[in-house]
Structure 1
Amino acid sequence: MAAGSVALATLLAVTLLPPVTAAQPVVCDAPVPSTTQPGYVVADPDCDLDGTPFTPVAGSTVRTGIERGAAYRIEVPRRWNGRLVLFAHGYRGDGPVLHVSNPQLRAHYLDRGYAWAASSYQLNGYEVGQGVRDSHALISLFRRVTGRTAQSVLMTGESMGGHITAVALEEFPRSFAGAMPVCGVLGDAALYDYFLDANVTAAALSGVNIAFETTPDEWRAQVRQIMTALGLSAGAPPALTPAGRTWSDVAERRTGGERPGFDASFAYWNTATSLEPYADLPFLFGLYPGLSGSADNVAGNRHTVYRITDAPHLTPAERRLNADVLRVSPSAHPSPGLGSIPRVDGRPRVPVLSLHGLGDLFVPFSMEQIYARRAAPTGLFVSRAIRATGHCDFTQPELRTAFDDLTRWIATGHRAAGDPILTPRAVAAPTFGCRFTSAPRAGFAACP
């Protein structure tokens, strides 16, 4: 990584790359069995899953392949600046097909002179440790397949890829010059605590007795009772009862505090149905950790205090809620190292600039605040709030501006601008998030 150790002649030699020759029609190959993970197949890295060929940008050089059970793509612009961006993709379920994909900022990286590389990882599922290993391995793979050494490396990732990014910075602190997680799970297992919180408070406010470990059929029957009590209807906008409105107040405080656009976002996420095989349930109810059947549960709420208001002391209603809610102790905890859900300490040694949507209730805004508290002593973390409802719902201008500001911060040492995400009064302001939001979204008032 030491830029000063790279001779000028070497840099000039690697900066100008030969253009890609006229491309022949690409015929997508069938997935091949993984050589490292039984039961998995690896999709052709020269094609997307829909059969669309991966086409190099004009003048760029592309390398693709399968390395130790993971597909990879590498693209280097003709006028390479000697820098490399590693892209970590998000959660893709537990299916058997592994595939590599492009970063949203692919064109911008190449236009700015950056090469990029991405891996499919050797596993699907929530496997952060594997994602870190396979992403970091791209650095040496890049050198081997291109014959060139990156002067510096940036790390970026979305959703679970944000968790991978944060862990990679701590596991390999000398490998990276900076990082840009977006919509990231920066609070590690706190994401699973949130899924637990949403469900156990909904049950308590509905007067429905639930257990932590339950079968899918039992859970569905209980959720139907909860839905009636709260005013929810799978796949349709909610008509919240008083108990439902209270649940909304609790959820707002557990996901980042009072903030613009929350009511519309809460309606959006309660209209959405959950992931398979729970697509017949409102979104959050298909994510209940007690449905996993795993002996290693990382979610817990033994010491969580649930709030309905921002009053300085618990109200009678809040005391009742905290007395009634099901309490769960985790059987496992995130730990240092590269497990499935490794701990994020929040101790980056390089600049980190992150974006997160205010209305994202899949990976909520509170994930950003958790990391901000942990990383505060370093002075190396900047967060930007985007007035968006969906998960990873960013515009190209928002992403491009953030990347350019990060690289400027790395080059000059002058900290990039961000939002005061740990100041409740600022977060609750009607205009919060306007500074870095480039386009209006439904559910948010127009910015001045």
Structure 2
Amino acid sequence: MRAVLAGSLGVALALGLTSPASAATGPEVTACPTALPADTTCYGGQDVNGAHYTIAMPKVWNGSLVVHSHGGPDLGAPTPARTTDDLTRWSVMVREGYLWAGSSYRRGGYGTRMGAADTENLRKIVVAKFGEPRKTFLHGQSWGGDVAAKTAEIYPRSYDAVLLTSGVLAGGSRGYDYRVDLRVVYQYYCGNHPRPTEPQYPLWQGLRADSTMTGTGLRARLEECTGITSTTRTPLQQRNLTDILAVTRITESALASHLNFATFTFRDIVHNRLGDRNPFSNKGVRYSGSHDDAALNAGVERFSADPPAKRDLSYDSDITGTIAVPVLTMHAIGDPTAFVEHEAAFRASMGWRPNLVQTFTTETEHSALSDSEYASALKALVTWERTGRKPTPASVAASCPANDAKYGKGCFFNPSYTPASYASRVNARPGGTHWPALTPLQSFLWERQGVRGIAP
């Protein structure tokens, strides 16, 4: 066991040898995005690890701070545009009187604990510039929901409450299983990723390390196989598309983006973060919903995860349920990217603790919900933290019309909705679990043994 741990730790240390820390810049006054009120003051800079950040101070500050963890992960180099785009999308929080801060993270690619460290670094920069806020709230969106939850676990004294929206909350060790399934099911039907004439590689890699394929090239292969954008598909294209969607339960509108993730982000996780080790498995999964399930299950590629690789991904990104402060989540029932069943996985990870309230909307969006809803969720969370009176999905929904009078974006809460189990939407791995893949005890023991997971 110690030899395995030492070997994987060596890989993690090697992966950590990225660009050296740079000299910090800022915070310096910079132009605000046009979506913000004209009297907002914005600041920009770069921390010692290379992460860009943007800070927005409203003219009338309520004394509290919202620190934002963005989604993705982005695979390119970090840029200031990442943070200004996020500020534009959640300008409602500045309009509500909060000091807002968002980080680009120090590099592109996967790394939940890296994102958590950069989020916490930014909080310290804000405190050094403006003093200790009255309260500090943490907001995570999409994969940033995972980052924010991990941030709250690692830095429990830094944040007073947590808002998670459209969160990828099942963790890395199980949260991408449906994309693993997509990767192998797509190849079974399409056979062009890779083509028979190209170098072959196991599909858990996503894409071979030296491939020059682009997103445009991948989309062309998807079009070739399924005619996804065509109004005159061939019968074979239509059958391929129908079978892929039915088996994976991915919506047609989101198929290209999920395949993109299962290609390029998987390559990043496997080659760049885990030293070419496999954290994914589909051994024993029974696929269903196609025109010929027997043939599909007999012909689809199978593989098993390397246990240390799965452990490292789990340590990096799985949620242990040790968040002690109030947590409020908001998720669209029809989210095509992070299925709403992620919330069931998160509820299981939290172990039915009393500090979690989950709200749901009837929207079919992922990247941005209604400003009126964001304002309602944030106000409910702030009141809960201040008074100790726990909100309910019904009370959050009831508060929305008053906020919609200000923002006019609509209120779509469904207070009676409860998501089905994660396993009801995503194929369970035989012998695995859809309960927390990482327990607090495992996390503690792994830290004592020197496990680093995915290095910064």
Q: TM-score, normalized by length of structure 1? A: 0.65
Find the counterpart in structure 1 of residue 419 from structure 2. 422
Output the CA distance in 2 between the equivalents of 1:155 and 1:290: 30
Find the counterpart in structure 2 of residue 333 from structure 1. 310
SS of structure 2 residue aligned to 1:346: coil
Find the counterpart in structure 1 of residue 337 from structure 2. 362
1:159 and 2:142 matched? yes
CA-CA distance at 1:342 after TM superposition: 2.3
1:37 and 2:34 matched? no
SS of structure 2 residue aligned to 1:85: strand
Equivalent residues in 2 for 1:191-340, closer than 5 Å: 191-204=175-188, 211-212=202-203, 213=205, 215=208, 216=211, 232-233=226-227, 235-236=229-230, 239=233, 241-242=238-239, 244-252=241-249, 266-270=251-255, 272=256, 283=260, 286-287=263-264, 289=266, 294=271, 295-308=276-289, 318=293, 321-331=296-306, 332-335=309-312
- With over 3 angstroms needed to count, the CA separation of the structure-2 counterparts of 1:176 and 1:284, relative to structure 1, is closer
Find the counterpart in structure 1 of residue 44 from structure 2. 64
**1 or 2 for the larger relative contact order (CA 8 Å, sep ≥6)?**
2
- With over 3 angstroms needed to count, the CA separation of the structure-2 counterparts of 1:175 and 1:245, relative to structure 1, is same
Deviations 1:48-67 (A, max 9, x none): 9xxx6557745555443332
1:168 and 2:168 matched? no
SS of structure 1 residue aligned to 2:176: helix
Output the CA distance in 1 between the equivalents of 2:121 and 2:95: 25
Which deviates further from its counterpart, 157-166 or 327-336?
327-336
Find the counterpart in structure 1 of residue 114 from structure 2. 130
- With over 3 angstroms needed to count, the CA separation of the structure-2 counterparts of 1:387 and 1:284, relative to structure 1, is farther
Find the counterpart in structure 1 of residue 352 from structure 2. 377
SS of structure 1 residue aligned to 2:87: coil
Output the CA distance in 2 between the equivalents of 1:382 and 1:123: 32
Find the counterpart in structure 2 of residue 407 from structure 1. 382
- The answer to whether the 8 A contact 2:138-2:163 is kept is yes
1:188 to 148, 160, 171: 171
Question: Counterpart of 1:121 in structure 2: which amino acid?
Answer: Y
Find the counterpart in structure 1 of residue 128 from structure 2. 144
CA-CA distance at 1:317 after TM superposition: 5.5
- The answer to whether the 8 A contact 2:32-2:41 is kept is no
- The answer to whether the 8 A contact 2:228-2:241 is kept is no
- The answer to whether the 8 A contact 2:61-2:97 is kept is yes
Question: Counterpart of 2:46 in structure 1: which amino acid?
Answer: I
CA-CA distance at 1:149 after TM superposition: 1.1
Q: Flag structure 1 segments of 5+ consecutive residues without an equivalent.
A: 1-35, 256-265, 276-281, 310-315, 429-448
Q: TM-score, normalized by length of structure 2? A: 0.64
CA-CA distance at 1:385 after TM superposition: 3.5
Deviations 1:391-440 (A, max 9, x none): 3131222322222222233334223315543347xx99xxxxxxxxxxxx
- With over 3 angstroms needed to count, the CA separation of the structure-2 counterparts of 1:205 and 1:46, relative to structure 1, is same
Q: Flag structure 2 segments of 5+ consecutive residues without an equivalent.
A: 1-17, 394-414, 426-456
- The answer to whether the 8 A contact 2:110-2:265 is kept is no
CA-CA distance at 1:133 after TM superposition: 0.8
- With over 3 angstroms needed to count, the CA separation of the structure-2 counterparts of 1:347 and 1:336, relative to structure 1, is farther
Question: Counterpart of 1:37 in structure 2: which amino acid?
Answer: S
User: How many residues of Structure 1 are paired with residues of Structure 2 in the alignment?
Assistant: 357
Question: Counterpart of 2:152 in structure 1: which amino acid?
Answer: L
Output the CA distance in 2 between the equivalents of 1:59 and 1:94: 34
Output the CA distance in 2 between the equivalents of 1:136 and 1:304: 39
Output the CA distance in 1 between the equivalents of 2:219 and 2:39: 55
Which deviates further from its counterpart, 289-298 or 155-164?
289-298
Which deviates further from its counterpart, 153-162 or 63-72?
63-72
- With over 3 angstroms needed to count, the CA separation of the structure-2 counterparts of 1:290 and 1:161, relative to structure 1, is closer
Find the counterpart in structure 2 of residue 438 from structure 1. none
User: Which one has a larger percent helix, Structure 1 or Structure 2?
Assistant: 2
